[in-house]
Structure 1
Amino acid sequence: MSTDPSLTQPPLDEAEAEAAAERAAAQAQRGTLGRTAARGALITVGGQGVKILLQVVGVVVLARLLTPGDYGLVAMVTAIIGVAEIFRDFGLSSAAVQAKTLSRAQRDNLFWINTGAGLAFTVLVFFTAPLVAAVYGHEELVGLTHVLAFVFVLNGMGTQYRADLNRRLRFTTLAVVDVAAPAISLVVAIVAAVQGAGYWALAVQQLTMAVVLLVGNAVTARWIPRLPRRAPMRDLFRFGWQLAGSLFVGYLGNNIDSLTIGTRFGSEALGLYNRAFQLLMTPLGQLRAPTTKVALPVLSRLRDDRAASNAYIQRGQSALGLTLVAGLGVVIGAAGPITSIFLGRQWLSVEPILRLLAVAGVFQSLAYVGLWIYLSHGLTKELLQYTMITVTIKIACILVGSTWGVTGVAWGYALAPALAWPLSFWWLSRKAPVDVGPLFVGAGRILVLTAFLAAGAFGACELTAQWGRWVQLPVAVAAAGVVYALAFLLVPMFRRDITGVLQIVRKGTGKNR
């Protein structure tokens, strides 16, 4: 007489049952993972496109309602207290997303850890406000820091809700919340600025965005955290603290430009630099960062399949290069009319800064796929080591460049990633099962195309200078479009790359089944 094997096995505890269910769900998803990833990428990029539009509208409108000094004061505060945001998250959002399995108890514990850290940093930043003001010599920074401190506890409460949505590949939900938050906060900021709130309009904008993100993510995630309880957390903490260390070092490098300008040249100069940064680098970051939301869960599932993983990474680099990097080529060539149209003629001194930041964005984007590899393979220790090297390069370039003023700082900011990005692929070739040769070759093709796009846009601007900015910009975009089309028609390797990106689009829209 046979016996049902399941009757002789000890019952699974809750954590084991959840892990088994999650593994089964992941296995069921595997067959449609490519289509899910492509659709998620399209949804995410579409949402970010709307966010960028909102960002540009905000820059255009608020630049005419506020002064460079207003922006400079807020940038002074965020450059210093923003480091607390890294340790508030502690890398645990990415740890939750990339984990092979995540139990309900682990998720609950992560929620309380992030919330507690957020509250702790709110208290810490609130009471160190006088120190922030003393660093820059602006007494008004005390009250501004007090208000912005509450962003930490709000973001801390929302961290694991967002990670949960990301882990479950709910990209549409994330995109909706990510669009609603900046839209609502921008309206609030514009109303406050019209009422004469000055720099407080920017502070209220940040608080409003944090509230909307928390409410939106919590409502759509549809779970209520239970009280903390025992669960295996060691691997999550190990991943998190190493990633937090990398982010901390990276943050110092990313903000050394603002700190240098703020302390050496004052709030007006920092406000000018900040407008160029907000006009270009913030939207660029908003487009790049969500690609990690798609790539991290996908590559985490593919990490045992080297061929599939390498193919995905190479396709991802092409997608970034032929869209974002190509667009930056147009910005490099048409920085003059872009500055004049979007910021106004009173901000024309921003033009060389904008052009140099676009160059920096090109090399940062080329290196960005490396972040996907580090995180998906759990190489946070190696990421920290690499980040320390690149930040050292950036700090040196910016400090030397500051000898020539704010534009010199922008030169240093552009030069640093140009020197550092090849190190990322070389370092990965030693630490991860990834083929970096095709990545170098692909990056070279992208750089050549971007250079031609920039030259075409610049030449068009020069030829139409006598007709004004409103003619220069569309003609520059058209000229770059002609260059792009010629590359597709005449150069087989570009045609192959562009066709590959179009295949991603077709997968995402369900037209390539």
Structure 2
Amino acid sequence: MSRLARLGSGLGWGGASTVIVAAFQLVFMAVMARLLEPADFGLVAVANVALRFLNYFAQMGVGSALVQKPELERGDIAAAFSVSIAVSLFCTLLAMLLAGFAGRFFSMPDLPAVIRWLSLGFVLSGMGTVANGLLRRDMHFKRLAINDAVAYVFGYGGIGIAMAVSGMGVWALVGASLSQTLLTAGLGYLGAQHPIAFVHGRAQRNHFLAFGGKYSLIGFLEFLGSNFDAMLIGKTLGDSAAGLYNRALLLANLPVEKPANVLSRALFPVLSSLGSQQRDKYAIGLQISVIVTGSYAFAVAGGISAAAPELVAVLLGEKWAASAAVTQILALSVGPLFVSHICGVTFDALGALGVKLKIQGGALLGLICGLMFALPYGLTGIATVIMIVESFKMLASLVAAASLLSIGRAVMLRIVATVLVFGGSSWGAVQLAAQLVHGFEHDIVRLAFEVAAGASGLILSFGLCRYLLASLQSVQWLLSRFPRLSRVFQST
């Protein structure tokens, strides 16, 4: 099977899994929001933020190192498994020791117990890291997609809702998380079934430690960049505010996060298999990925921003109404976030981790400074800073990727203009529909009209943007391999 066919297979199976998971996630979110209190979600959100200080080092980039390594030698799997288990055990013990400090720092007496139980997820995940890395390396996208769907639906959803109905409060969220992690690891091992061995050479272990160390440092900076806001809110505004912000963030990201992750999970092993000398194919892959992911992300996020009041009312209920304004602003950061993510996948595949490190470090510095200024303005002020920083990070990532792959400035400007048109058209169409149906009594009816308007805006956007895209070399390359798509561009 060609690389393009494998990428298509990954997107197909990943897309199917995403549709299933997203549908169940909407249901689970609505059910859990009515069974639990904002403080429950806030407590787990703060616990997860605290644990993510260790999470990226717990994984040590082992899975990505397995995918990126050109050739696997004898002992590599044993080295990877040894590093994964040892580091994840260390991080679990460290988290349990430091849980009390986190509880005192955030002034949340129930937080230490939640952290200690959730930290077991490090070990559970570490047991499946090598297996899932091998499945990604061998591009077994079908099995990965099925595993993800089964783990979420039966692990998180089944266990979580059962515990919530039983009145277990915050522990329903803890049980849901651990169950999903356990199922993901177990199903991954059933698919790869690699030897459970620890005998390996020092050079092999050092390879995973060296690549994984830098990879983990970048992941840690990304974690700080994406979670510093939640830590600040939990510390200064309390668990209820943290819960409102957490649900707003989930609602803003949910429709985009899963499809974007499907693309990146399939794209990374495909690009890694190309070899560092095939820069022209990297350039084509980046452009097509940014066009597809960016257009979708900006369009959907623009619609979410405009329809936020109705979305919150329908999916979360009246007690979450205060999160609507925050969702409106956070949604505008989603498009830039995932365009930056696609650029980051390309940096990883090329081994250009230094470039990624500089961009992430600069974004983190800007975020910290901005949030210190925005804190007096509450959740909406914090959300505004997130939107601005993600926009600048996207621009920096695109400029760096264009320079690294020798992509012309005019090409990148066309691509950026395309995703902005998609976002603006979707936002405008939904906003217009919201004004027209403002007097309707039922939130769900208003939301249905807004969704239809957003779909119309999406179609209009493509009609406008195909003129910007038709002459791009990357698009012509895609059309040469999928002639049926050329009908869409016939009139340009």
- Structure 1 and Structure 2 fold alike (TM over 0.5): yes
Match of 2:424 among 451, 461, 464: 451
* Bigger radius of gyration among the two: 1
Letter in 1 for 2:129: T
> What residue is the counterpart of 1:120 in the other structure?
90
Q: How does 1:254-293 map to 2 (within 5 A)?
A: 254-282=226-254, 284-293=256-265
Given that 1:325 and 1:365 are in contact with CA atoms closer than 8 Å, whether structure 2 keeps it comes out as no
Given that 1:55 and 1:279 are in contact with CA atoms closer than 8 Å, whether structure 2 keeps it comes out as no
Secondary structure at 1:64 match in 2: helix
> What residue is the counterpart of 2:175 in the other structure?
204
Do residues 243 (structure 1) and 215 (structure 2) align? yes
What CA RMSD, in Å, does the superposition of the two structures yield over aligned residues? Answer: 2.4
Deviating more after overlay: 146-155 vs 307-316: 307-316
Quote the offset at 1:243 in angstroms.
1.2
Do residues 393 (structure 1) and 366 (structure 2) align? yes
Do residues 402 (structure 1) and 375 (structure 2) align? yes
Structure 1 residues 491 and 174, CA gap change in structure 2 (3 angstroms) = closer
Quote the offset at 1:349 in angstroms.
1.0
Deviation string for 1:355-396 (max 9, x for gaps)?
111101011122222112210110112211221011111222
Given that 1:425 and 1:436 are in contact with CA atoms closer than 8 Å, whether structure 2 keeps it comes out as no
> What residue is the counterpart of 1:481 in the other structure?
455
Deviation string for 1:62-101 (max 9, x for gaps)?
0000001111111111111112110011122111111111
Quote the offset at 1:220 in angstroms.
1.0
Q: 2:197 & 2:104 partners in 1: Cα distance?
A: 42
Letter in 1 for 2:28: G
> What residue is the counterpart of 1:26 in the other structure?
none
Secondary structure at 1:450 match in 2: helix
Do residues 322 (structure 1) and 295 (structure 2) align? yes
Give the alignment's TM-score, normalised by structure 1: 0.88
> What residue is the counterpart of 1:182 in the other structure?
152
Q: How does 1:287-436 map to 2 (within 5 A)?
A: 287-302=259-274, 303-430=276-403, 432-435=404-407
Given that 1:318 and 1:501 are in contact with CA atoms closer than 8 Å, whether structure 2 keeps it comes out as no
Q: 1:67 & 1:198 partners in 2: Cα distance?
A: 8
Secondary structure at 2:70 match in 1: coil
Secondary structure at 1:278 match in 2: helix
Q: 1:497 & 1:117 partners in 2: Cα distance?
A: 49
Match of 2:121 among 151, 159, 177: 151
Deviation string for 1:203-222 (max 9, x for gaps)?
11111011101110011112
Q: How does 1:89-168 map to 2 (within 5 A)?
A: 89-168=59-138
Deviation string for 1:160-180 (max 9, x for gaps)?
111000000000000001111
Q: 2:23 & 2:126 partners in 1: Cα distance?
A: 27
> What residue is the counterpart of 1:23 in the other structure?
none
Q: 1:196 & 1:404 partners in 2: Cα distance?
A: 36
Given that 1:105 and 1:230 are in contact with CA atoms closer than 8 Å, whether structure 2 keeps it comes out as yes
Query: Can you give the 5+ residue segments of structure 1 that lack an aligned partner in the other structure?
Result: 1-28
Quote the offset at 1:429 in angstroms.
4.1
Do residues 81 (structure 1) and 51 (structure 2) align? yes
Q: 1:395 & 1:104 partners in 2: Cα distance?
A: 45
Quote the offset at 1:231 in angstroms.
6.2
Deviation string for 1:382-414 (max 9, x for gaps)?
211221011111222222221201121111111
Quote the offset at 1:478 in angstroms.
1.6
Q: 1:450 & 1:214 partners in 2: Cα distance?
A: 37
Given that 1:445 and 1:494 are in contact with CA atoms closer than 8 Å, whether structure 2 keeps it comes out as yes
Aligned identity (percent) is: 23
> What residue is the counterpart of 1:56 in the other structure?
26
Structure 1 residues 397 and 497, CA gap change in structure 2 (3 angstroms) = farther
Match of 2:197 among 226, 230, 245: 226
Quote the offset at 1:250 in angstroms.
1.3
Given that 2:402 and 2:412 are in contact with CA atoms closer than 8 Å, whether structure 1 keeps it comes out as no
Quote the offset at 1:483 in angstroms.
2.5
Give the alignment's TM-score, normalised by structure 2: 0.92
> What residue is the counterpart of 2:490 in the other structure?
none
Q: 1:501 & 1:335 partners in 2: Cα distance?
A: 37
